[in-house]
Amino acid sequence: MSSNPGAAQVSPQDKARTALFQAITEAAEAAKEYRGTARAESLKNLAEAYAWVSSPAQPH
């Protein structure tokens, strides 16, 4: 429970989406400096995870 009763509750899905979006943003920025298949694969995996968390009922 939050110590602030008026504070909005953030769902675990929203927390995951936010964390994944931040990781995608950071990975995309890093990919500008370092080109390589490992970075591209990592970015693709993060994007797939974001899609799954955002729309779990859709096939991915």
pLDDT tens-place string over residues 1-58: 456 665 689 999 999 999 999 999 998 888 777 767 778 888 899 999 999 999 988 8
Contact (CB, 8 A) for 47 and 21:
no
Does a structural domain hold residue 25?
A: yes
- Residue 59 located in a structural domain: no
**Considering the domain boundaries, does residue 5 fall inside one?**
no
- pLDDT score of 4: 62
Query: pLDDT-based confidence at 60, cuts 50/70/90?
Result: low
Based on the structure, what is the number of domains in the chain? 1
Question: What count of other Cβ atoms lies within 10 Å of the Cβ of residue 54?
Answer: 14
In a domain, 47, yes or no: yes
Flag whether 3 is in a domain. Answer: no
The answer as to whether 1 is a domain residue is no
Q: pTM (2 decimals)?
A: 0.69
Instruction: Output the pLDDT for position 29.
Output: 85
Range of the domain at 24: 12-54
Asked whether residue 21 is assigned to any structural domain, the reply reads: yes
pLDDT at 30: 81
